[in-house]
């Protein structure tokens, strides 16, 4: 009841924002990207392909907004900006006065449920996948999926992952809609053999991200040869499978923070690691608690050493969070440490690393703040790693 009232308020704000900026989305070709995992990489890929092929394009993602080549900070823990800043970004994109002008917008389930994207005429809506996440807000997977489907309903063309468990439910919801599919395994409209996946696209998850971006680009009449050329020159967004150290042992930073992303990332790393796979991670406080044992499960299937630490606990008891993660762990011969101070946890991982070991630090990546329960405090994952390496 209370959330429904809040959503009515958000809708009113969205209407006012559109009126204030004169519905700028109507002057742009807008591609919306949603899903549980892979949104930022897929949105960035689409942006890169369009830009590489001479299109005038802007991007609004978790990492930042790039409007007509200028980078803007979107704030702490923000993927889908609130209606007024979002419409302002769209109005800035319109000022380029180049036709056609494209804008790639990363869209969250919260943004869809709260009508933050009301008034935006999406030409294409693409879903990467829908797995276990945000059930503290949506309560059930079915509600979560139906919220994601809102983007596909309002978009002129819907693009979905045929290999994902969301495919069949989406197919029922979108009976009368133009739907394109992509697949790494089956017979989608775009399949793995259609593209030349570069070697730096690590893991099956990045194959899916590339296929999603390719499907969008083909729909925008970009030739496959130009898409493949753009894939070769793509640089992944900050903190997406980013190797920051490779001297004796390796250190990688990744934003993975869901069970699905853990499975994808760790399964792709495991065969490549000669020594131990050392994993530093936590689970966000006052968020979906049901995913915590699942994250513990997938971590235990692939990791040799786990260091559980803080990831925006927001005042929640960190021992309780760690215990919930440990409940899902399946491998018995596993070294598990709990170090609540994230800086100390990272220092510990680096101090114990030996030749051939691989450290992966997940969950924060590009984020510049940490919330321990007293508001946002400055945080820089990369600086902490750099300092720890200097002191090893």
Q: Determine the 3-state secondary structure of 259 from DSSP.
A: helix
We find that the CATH architecture of domain 2-232 is 3-Layer(aba) Sandwich (3.40)
Per-residue pLDDT tens for 168-210? 999 999 988 889 999 998 789 999 999 999 999 999 999 999 9
CB 338 within 8 A of CB 380: no
Extract the tokens encoding 227. Answer: 């898409």
Per-residue pLDDT tens for 7-50? 899 999 999 999 999 999 999 999 999 999 999 999 999 999 99
CA distance 371 to 290: 20
Q: CA angle, corner 181, sides to 176 and 182, nearest 5?
A: 175
pLDDT band with cut points at 50, 70 and 90 for residue 133: confident
Answer yes or no: is pLDDT of 384 > 70. yes
Q: What burial class does residue 330 get, using C-beta atoms within 10 Å of its C-beta: 0-12 exposed, 13-18 middle, 19+ buried? A: exposed
Mean pLDDT of 366-380: 94
Per-residue pLDDT tens for 315-350? 999 999 999 999 999 976 689 999 999 999 999 999
CA distance 190 to 210: 10
DSSP 163: T
pLDDT band with cut points at 50, 70 and 90 for residue 78: low
Domain definitions of the chain by residue range: 2-232, 242-391
CA distance 388 to 204: 31
Mean pLDDT of 141-165: 95
Q: What pLDDT, on the 0 to 100 scale, is given for residue 52?
A: 98
Answer yes or no: is pLDDT of 71 > 70. yes
- Whole-angstrom CA distances from 51 to 54, 55, 231 are 5, 5, 12
Nearest to 48 by CA among 237, 215, 204, 240: 237
Q: What kind and span of H or E run contains 88?
A: helix 83-94
CB 202 within 8 A of CB 169: no
Q: What pLDDT, on the 0 to 100 scale, is given for residue 383?
A: 97
CA distance 52 to 230: 6
The CATH number of the structural domain formed by 242-391 is 3.90.190.20
Q: Which residues contact 68 (CB under 8 A, 6 or more apart)?
A: 56, 58, 92, 93, 95, 96
DSSP 245: E
* 205-242 core/surface letters (b: 16 or more CB in 10 A; e: else): bbbbbbbbbbbbbbbbebeeeebbebbeebebbbbbbb
pLDDT band with cut points at 50, 70 and 90 for residue 77: low
Q: What percent of the chain has pLDDT over 70?
A: 97
pLDDT band with cut points at 50, 70 and 90 for residue 75: confident
Q: In this predicted structure, which of 66-80, 140-154, 316-330, 341-355 has the lowest mean pLDDT?
A: 66-80
Mean pLDDT of 74-99: 85
CA distance 312 to 134: 15
Q: For 310, what's the count of Cα atoms within 13 Å in the CB-facing half-sphere?
A: 19
Q: What pLDDT, on the 0 to 100 scale, is given for residue 1?
A: 64
Answer yes or no: is pLDDT of 3 > 80. no
CB 47 within 8 A of CB 56: no
Answer yes or no: is pLDDT of 76 > 70. no
Q: For 315, what's the count of Cα atoms within 13 Å in the CB-facing half-sphere?
A: 4
Q: What percent of the chain has pLDDT over 90?
A: 87
Q: What pLDDT, on the 0 to 100 scale, is given for residue 391?
A: 86
Q: What pLDDT, on the 0 to 100 scale, is given for residue 137?
A: 81
Answer yes or no: is pLDDT of 268 > 80. yes
């Amino acid at each position: 009841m209370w959330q429904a009232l809040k959503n009515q308020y958000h809708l009113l704000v969205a209407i006012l924002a559109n009126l204030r900026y004169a519905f700028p989305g109507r002057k742009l070709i807008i591609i919306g990207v949603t899903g549980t995992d892979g949104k930022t990489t897929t949105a960035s890929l689409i942006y890169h392909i369009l830009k590489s092929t001479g299109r005038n394009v802007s991007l609004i993602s978790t990492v930042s907004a790039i409007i007509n080549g200028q980078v803007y900070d979107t704030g702490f823990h923000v993927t889908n900006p609130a209606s007024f800043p979002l419409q302002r970004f769209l109005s800035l994109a319109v000022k380029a006065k180049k036709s056609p002008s494209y804008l790639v917008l990363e869209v969250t389930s919260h943004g869809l449920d709260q009508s933050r994207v009301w008034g935006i005429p999406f030409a294409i809506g693409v879903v990467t996948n829908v797995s276990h996440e945000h059930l503290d807000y949506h309560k059930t997977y079915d509600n979560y999926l139906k919220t994601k489907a809102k983007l596909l309903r309002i978009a002129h063309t819907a693009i979905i992952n045929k290999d994902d468990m969301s495919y069949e439910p989406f197919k029922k919801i979108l009976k009368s809609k133009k739907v394109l599919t992509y697949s790494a395994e089956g017979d989608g409209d775009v399949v793995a053999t259609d593209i030349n996946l570069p070697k730096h696209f690590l893991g099956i998850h990045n194959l899916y991200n590339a296929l999603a971006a390719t499907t969008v680009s083909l729909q925008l009449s970009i030739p496959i040869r130009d898409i493949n050329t753009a894939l070769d020159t793509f640089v992944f967004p900050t903190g997406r499978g980013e190797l920051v150290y490779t001297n004796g042992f390796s250190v990688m930073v990744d934003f993975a923070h869901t069970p699905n992303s853990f499975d994808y990332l760790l399964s792709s790393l495991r065969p490549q690691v000669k020594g131990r796979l050392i994993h530093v991670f936590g689970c966000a406080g006052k968020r979906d608690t049901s995913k915590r044992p699942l994250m513990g499960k997938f971590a235990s299937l692939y990791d040799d050493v786990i260091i559980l630490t803080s990831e925006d606990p927001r005042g929640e008891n960190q021992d309780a969070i760690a215990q919930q993660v440990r409940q899902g762990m399946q491998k018995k011969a596993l070294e598990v440490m709990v170090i609540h101070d994230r800086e100390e946890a990272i220092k510990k991982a680096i101090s114990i690393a030996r030749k051939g070991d691989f450290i992966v630090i997940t969950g924060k990546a590009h984020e510049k703040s940490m919330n321990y329960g007293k508001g946002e405090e400055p945080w820089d994952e990369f600086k902490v790693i750099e300092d720890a390496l200097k002191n090893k």
